[in-house]
Chain A
Amino acid sequence: MHPTLPNAPGIGFKPQHFAELTADPGPVAWIEVHAENYMGDGGRPQAQLAHLADRMPVSVHGVGLSIGGEDPLDRDHLDRLARVVDRAGAASVSEHLAWSSHGGAYFNDLLPLPYTDATLARVAAHIDQVQDRLARPILLENPSSYLSFTESTWSETDFLAELTRRTGCGLLLDVNNVFISATNLGLGATDYIDTFPLDRVGEIHVGGHDRETDETGAPLLIDSHGKPVADPVWTLLDYTLARSGPRPVLVEWDNDVPDWLVLRDEATRAADALDRLPERMETRRWA
Chain B
Amino acid sequence: MGVSQASFSAALFDPAMAAPSGLVSGPEGRRFNVYRNNVVVSLTEALKTGFPVIARLLGDENIDGLARLYLRTHPPTTPVMQRFGDTFPDFLASLDQLDHLGYLPDVARLELALRRAYHAADAAAVDPAQLAEIPPEKLANVTVTLAPAVQILRSDWPIHAIWAYNTQPDAPTPQPGAQDVLVTRPGFDPVPDLLPAGGAAFFAALQGGAPIGTALEAIGTPDFDLTRALTLALQGGAFTAISLTE
- Give A contacts to B, CB under 8 Å: 36-37, 39-47, 63-66, 69-71, 74, 77, 80, 99-109, 111-112, 114, 116, 118, 146-151, 184, 214-216, 220, 222
- Across the interface, A216 reaches (CB within 8 A) one of B26, B32, B38, B189, namely B26
Find out whether the CB atom of B30 lies under 8 angstroms from the CB atom of A116.
no
B23 adjacent to chain A (CB < 8 Å): yes
Q: 1/0 per position for B138-163, CB-CB distance to A under 8 A? A: 00000000001100000000000000
Most buried by B among A104, A111, A118: A111
The reply to whether A101 and B79 contact each other, CB–CB distance below 8 Å, is: yes
Please name 17 further chain A to chain B contacts, defined as beta carbons within 8 Å, in addition to the given A64-B80, A106-B77, A214-B26, sorted by A numbering.
A39-B82, A42-B119, A43-B188, A45-B119, A47-B188, A69-B5, A70-B5, A70-B6, A102-B5, A102-B9, A105-B76, A107-B9, A108-B43, A148-B24, A149-B24, A151-B22, A216-B26
Given the complex, which residues of B lie within 8 Å of A39, measured CB to CB?
A: 80, 82
B31 adjacent to A77 (CB under 8 Å): no
Q: Are A77 and B2 in contact (CB under 8 A)?
A: no
Cβ contact of A41, chosen from B35, B38, B43, B120, cutoff 8 A: B120
List the B side residues contacting A40 at CB < 8 Å.
82, 118-120
Smallest beta-carbon distance B44→chain A, Å: 10
Measured CB to CB, the nearest residue on chain B to A106 is B76
Contacts of B225 in A (CB 8 A): none
Q: Which residues of chain B are within 8 angstroms of A71 by Cβ–Cβ distance?
A: 5
- Residues from chain B with Cβ under 8 Å of A147 in the complex: 23-26, 31-32, 34
A158 to B50, CA, bound (A): 41
Among the listed B30, B39, B46, B118, which residue makes an inter-chain contact with A44, where contact means beta carbons less than 8 Å apart? B118
Q: Give B215-236 interface residues, CB cut-off 8 Å to A.
A: none
Check B135 for interface membership: any CB of A closer than 8 A. Answer: no
Q: B79 contacts A111, CB within 8 Å?
A: no
Q: With a CB–CB cut-off of 8 A, which chain A residues contact B32?
A: 146-147
Q: Which 6 A-B pairs have the closest CB atoms?
A: A64-B79, A40-B119, A147-B25, A41-B121, A105-B75, A44-B188
Q: Bound complex: CA of A116 vs CA of B22, how far in Å?
A: 13
Q: In the complex, are the beta carbons of A116 and B2 less than 8 A apart?
A: yes
Most buried by B among A106, A108, A116, A215: A108
Asked whether B127 is an interface residue with its Cβ less than 8 Å from the other chain, the reply is no
Give 9 A-B contacts (CB < 8 Å), ordered by A residue.
A43-B119, A70-B4, A103-B9, A105-B77, A108-B43, A109-B39, A147-B23, A147-B25, A147-B32
Q: Are B6 and A103 in contact (CB under 8 A)?
A: yes
Whole-angstrom CA separation of A45 from B118 in the bound complex: 9
Q: Are A146 and B35 in contact (CB under 8 A)?
A: yes
B2, A146: Cβ atoms under 8 Å? no
**Does B175 reach chain A (CB closer than 8 Å)?**
no
Cα separation A109 to B42 with both chains bound (whole Å):
8
B81 at the interface (CB under 8 A from A): yes
A182 to chain B, nearest CB (A): 15
Q: Which of B5, B78, B79, B80 has the most CB of A within 10 A?
A: B79
A217–chain B nearest beta-carbon distance, Å: 11
Distance to closest chain B CB from A104 (angstroms): 6
Our pick among A105, A150, A215, A220 for the contact of B22 (Cβ within 8 Å) is A150
Chain A residues in 8 Å Cβ range of B109: none
CA distance A216 to B81 in the complex (A): 36
Q: What sequence of 0s and 1s flags, for each residue 70-88 of chain B, a beta carbon within 8 Å of any chain A beta carbon?
A: 0000011111111000000
Task: Check B12 for interface membership: any CB of A closer than 8 A.
Answer: yes
Interchain CB contact under 8 A, A77 and B79: yes
Question: By CB atoms of chain B within 10 A, which of A39, A47, A146 has the most?
Answer: A146
